[in-house]
Amino acid sequence: MACSESPETRCLKRTDNSVKVNLNQTLVSSLIRDRSIHEAKRLLAYTALTVAEVGYELGYLDPAYFTRVFRMATGQTPKAFRARVQS
């Protein structure tokens, strides 16, 4: 049985599937990051854990990296967030 699709059509389908996979991975990564930041905010607001301990709880082995990710997501450092929430 011969395939009725042209090579261009098959290429477009592969590209379309690749875009869908990449988009789904991006959405899932975004959801995980958002959930992680939400949990970080909760821990910073309602516990006495240090910023490093909050990062470790969420799977960040490097406190500086956790601080960088938190600041990129919220516009402020974890320490500044905690001070604002507790004031």
Q: What is the pLDDT of residue 28?
A: 80
Q: Give residue 30's pLDDT.
A: 87
The answer to the question of residue 87 being in a domain is: yes
**Domain range holding 54?**
32-87
* Residue 51 within a domain: yes
Q: Convert the pLDDT of each residue in 16-41 to its tens digit.
A: 666 566 666 678 888 889 999 999 99
Residue 82 in domain: yes
* Helices first, then strands: H and E counts in the chain: 4, 0
Type of residue numbered 42: R
Q: What's the structural domain count of the chain? A: 1
Query: Is residue 38 one of the residues assigned to a domain?
Result: yes
Backbone angles phi, psi at 76, to 5 degrees: -150, 160
Alpha-carbon distance 11 to 49, whole Å? 52
pTM of this prediction exceeds 0.75: no
Are 47 and 85 in contact, with CB atoms under 8 Å apart?
A: no
Report, as an integer, the average pLDDT of 59-66.
96
